[in-house]
Amino acid sequence: MSWADVSTDTPTNPTRLARPTRPTYVPPHLRHGAAVATTNGATPIGSDCPPEQGRTATSRGRGQSRGRGRGQGWGQGREASEANASPFDGSEKFDELEEVEDTNGGLSINFDAYEDIPVEASGSDIPPPVSAFAEIHLGEGLNQNIRRCKYVKPTPIQRHAIPIAMAGRDLMACAQTGSGKTAAFCFPIICGILRNQLSRGGARLACPTALILSPTRELSCQIHEEAKKFSYKTGLKVVVAYGGAPISQQFRNLERGVDILVATPGRLVDMIERARVSLRMIKYLALDEADRMLDMGFEPQIRKIVEQMDMPPPGARQTMLFSATFPNEIQRLAADFLSNYIFLSVGRVGSSTDLIVQRVEFVEDTDKRYHLMDLLQSQMTNRTPKKYALTLVFVETKRGVDALEQWLCMNGLAATAIHGDKVQMERERALKSFKSGATPIMVATDVAARGLDIPHVAHVINFDLPKAIDDYVHRIGRTGRAGKSGLATAFFNDGNLSLAKSLVELMQESNQEVPSWLNQYAERPSYGGGRSRYGGGRFGGHDFRSSSQLKREDYYSPSPYGDVTQTDVFVAPASGEGYYSIPYGEAAPPDSYAAGSDRYGFDHGSIVASGWD
């Protein structure tokens, strides 16, 4: 049970272990926003928050609640705030956007942040990367939309992945959170359909040409919006299908014609079984968050869709798998869906970006709520006027999410909540209210951990740390997107021991300061001795085919990458210049899992319980 589950206002007071590695707890009313002294080198609570965060300085701490919906300033209650939620949805305004030539470098994306990221590509005959969209013949319609989106130049994953996909190759691609993977699979799909004039009209039985699968409703909607922007005025029809919304309306949308279907697996299976969708014309299949899609929760459904329906087999369709994390075990499963594919990793697979400042604080379960309140109050104190910043708080269980949201609202903070037990309308309302800044705090399960691209998320707080480091990577990836910086704070205690080692490794590789007490946890053999899910090697993630089970001749020298021969894996800075090879023998060992355990070595139930659907 997460401590967030506790719905009483007063925490219980369990016996505390004497531990020098814990910050001194000071009650909120004594803090006055000042830094709290620590005895262990942990970051003082409430300090060092980015100045732009927070809303007003009028929120109330414990005991100062006015009740829900009756506060003021940032302390406005939830109902009032949600009622005022801005109806603005960026995509609705796309029509009004003008085409923008290269002004101020396009969007405020900081491309320098992505230079010199290591790139690994393996497979046969790898098409070389490009450095500009103009180098790829995407077609005038798509190019105009790229300009409308103010994408001036491709991100590293786009530079490498788009030429590979445009060459018709299957692809397994990993790149850091917020680095532009959506466009990397959307552009080749749109371009391919337009180029081959595969567009089809409406019919009772919908036969899309492209299928994009994602694990959550919100992510499917987001991809749908993106794909619609990219195919604006091209004549392509993009339709979304997801659970929780009336299927009849989605059927009507399909009847009007569909070229690209974006779907969650459950709703798609339902539609196929009702004989309203056929996959027999599929030429392009993309799995976003592919490792999650092939994880234990979704794999049977994905296999059903891809292998047991009428979808053309690998080779007859083009398959693209994308994620920020790709454990070897999942790579092995994924290989079933691919044909002669190229493995591409941009940045360390499963790494967090250096743009996210990560802090870990030792917080006992009983203290979590008040530490959270400290952080939020500190943000308010340090805020920059007129700048709005959002805070996403991850909690382990759905009950815990509800209880924490309620507690925050009772204490005068405008918070909303999202998890898989809420009805779809509540989920949508929560997300909209959060995005608009009306409720600048959102408490969530892992249902919000992957893929969501919400501007202005400045702070991700792991109130409860996840069981698996991959989930941590995706969660903190909700901030620090598209070259912007972000802050991630995690509350760590004895219950998170099994995560210590991989957390320290991740932080070190992202050049983060690791508290000495956390290092000590990581060094404990019983706690921190667990094997990281990542492979070894220079930046961790590698094509699992480079493991020792494979023969040397299974690999090719991808000539377009230079004059290197007799090597297996090619690595380059993101710029595409100066590729060099990793000799075969130095490739990362396979990341096999202990017999009987899942890939994390954790209890399945607790992972599933975190709110996916």
Ligand X SMILES: Nc1ncnc2c1ncn2[C@@H]1O[C@H](COP(=O)(O)OP(=O)(O)OP(=O)(O)O)[C@@H](O)[C@H]1O
Residue 501 token pair: 């080692």
Which of 280, 216, 209, 212 has its CA nearest to residue 244?
216
Residues touching ligand X, count (CB under 6 A): 21
Nearer to ligand X among residue 24 and residue 131 (C-beta)? 131
Q: Does 324 bind ligand X (CB under 6 A)?
A: yes
- Residue 595 carries which DSSP code? T
Q: Which of 3, 74, 114, 151 binds ligand X (CB under 6 A)?
A: 151
Region of 119-127, 149-157, 190-198, 352-360 interacting with ligand X (CB under 6 A): 149-157
Cα-flanking dihedrals φ and ψ of residue 120, to 5°?
-120, 130
Name which of residues 478 to 497 contact ligand X (CB under 6 A): 481-482
Distance (Å, whole) CA 384 – CA 197: 51
CB of 489 to ligand X, least distance (A): 19
Q: Does 446 bind ligand X (CB under 6 A)?
A: no
Nearer to ligand X among residue 486 and residue 535 (C-beta)? 486
- Residues forming beta bridges with residue 358, ordered by sequence position: 488
Q: Where does 338-465 show beta strands of DSSP type E?
A: 342-346, 356-362, 390-394, 415-418, 441-444, 457-462
Which of 52, 180, 210 has its CA nearest to residue 117?
180
CB of 123 to ligand X, least distance (A): 21
Q: Does 155 bind ligand X (CB under 6 A)?
A: yes
Region of 86-94, 171-179, 244-252, 298-306 interacting with ligand X (CB under 6 A): 171-179
Q: Does 109 bind ligand X (CB under 6 A)?
A: yes
Judge whether 558 and 125 are in contact, CB under 8 Å. Answer: yes
CB of 452 to ligand X, least distance (A): 7
Region of 474-482, 532-540, 555-563, 584-592 interacting with ligand X (CB under 6 A): 474-482
| Angle made by CA atoms 372, 375, 380, in degrees to the nearest 5 | 125
Count of residues making up the chain = 613
Q: Does 528 bind ligand X (CB under 6 A)?
A: no
Residue 434 token pair: 């959060």
Region of 30-38, 63-71, 181-189, 334-342 interacting with ligand X (CB under 6 A): 181-189
Cα-flanking dihedrals φ and ψ of residue 359, to 5°?
-125, 140
Nearer to ligand X among residue 81 and residue 179 (C-beta)? 179
CB of 111 to ligand X, least distance (A): 8
Distance (Å, whole) CA 526 – CA 604: 21
Nearer to ligand X among residue 173 and residue 504 (C-beta)? 173
Nearer to ligand X among residue 68 and residue 147 (C-beta)? 147
Q: Which of 453, 464, 470, 591 binds ligand X (CB under 6 A)?
A: 453
Nearer to ligand X among residue 484 and residue 501 (C-beta)? 484
State the chain's maximal CA–CA distance in angstroms: 71
String of contacts with ligand X for each residue 550-579, x by CB under 6 A: ------------------------------
DSSP codes, 531-570: PPSS--SSSS---GGGSTTS-GGG----GGG-S--S-SEE
CB of 591 to ligand X, least distance (A): 20
Distance (Å, whole) CA 510 – CA 358: 9
Q: Does 183 bind ligand X (CB under 6 A)?
A: yes
Name which of residues 398 to 417 contact ligand X (CB under 6 A): none
Judge whether 302 and 214 are in contact, CB under 8 Å. Answer: no
Q: Does 182 bind ligand X (CB under 6 A)?
A: yes
Nearer to ligand X among residue 173 and residue 272 (C-beta)? 173
Q: Which of 23, 451, 528, 540 binds ligand X (CB under 6 A)?
A: 451
Q: Which of 76, 122, 177, 433 binds ligand X (CB under 6 A)?
A: 177
Nearer to ligand X among residue 351 and residue 433 (C-beta)? 351
Q: Which of 477, 486, 535, 590 binds ligand X (CB under 6 A)?
A: 477
Q: Does 178 bind ligand X (CB under 6 A)?
A: yes
CB of 606 to ligand X, least distance (A): 23
Q: Does 228 bind ligand X (CB under 6 A)?
A: no
Q: Does 344 bind ligand X (CB under 6 A)?
A: no
Nearer to ligand X among residue 451 and residue 530 (C-beta)? 451
Long-range contacts of 192-199 (CB under 8 A, 24+ apart): 192/166, 192/168, 192/283, 192/284, 192/318, 193/236, 193/259, 193/260, 193/283, 193/284, 194/139, 194/141, 194/142, 194/234, 194/236, 195/139, 196/283, 198/259, 198/281, 198/283, 199/235, 199/236, 199/237, 199/259
Sheet with 260-263, edge to edge strand ranges: 238-241, 260-263, 210-213, 284-288, 318-323, 171-175, 342-346, 119-122, 569-572, 580-582
CB of 101 to ligand X, least distance (A): 14
| Angle made by CA atoms 111, 357, 162, in degrees to the nearest 5 | 30
CA distances from 541 to 160, 192, 396, 588 (A): 16, 29, 27, 8
CB of 71 to ligand X, least distance (A): 32
Nearer to ligand X among residue 59 and residue 216 (C-beta)? 216
- Residue 305 carries which DSSP code? I
Distance (Å, whole) CA 315 – CA 296: 25
- Residue 360 contacts by C-beta under 8 Å, 6 or more apart in sequence? 42, 43, 489, 490, 492, 503, 507, 514, 515, 518
Residue 510 token pair: 């992202």
Which of 208, 214, 264 has its CA nearest to residue 231?
208
Q: Does 179 bind ligand X (CB under 6 A)?
A: yes
- Residue 222 contacts by C-beta under 8 Å, 6 or more apart in sequence? 182, 451, 452, 453
Helix axes 140-148, 181-195, angle to 10 degrees: 150
Q: Does 154 bind ligand X (CB under 6 A)?
A: yes
Q: Does 106 bind ligand X (CB under 6 A)?
A: yes
Q: Which of 181, 237, 348, 432 binds ligand X (CB under 6 A)?
A: 181
What distance lies between CA 41 and its chain's CA centroid?
30
Region of 71-79, 172-180, 373-381, 540-548 interacting with ligand X (CB under 6 A): 172-180
Q: Does 180 bind ligand X (CB under 6 A)?
A: yes
Q: Does 107 bind ligand X (CB under 6 A)?
A: yes
Nearer to ligand X among residue 28 and residue 477 (C-beta)? 477
Region of 235-243, 250-258, 383-391, 475-483 interacting with ligand X (CB under 6 A): 475-483
CB of 557 to ligand X, least distance (A): 29
Distance (Å, whole) CA 561 – CA 571: 9
CB of 180 to ligand X, least distance (A): 3
Region of 19-27, 102-110, 242-250, 419-427 interacting with ligand X (CB under 6 A): 102-110
- By CB under 6 A, name the binding residues for ligand X: 106-107, 109, 151, 154-155, 158, 175, 177-183, 324, 451, 453, 477, 481-482
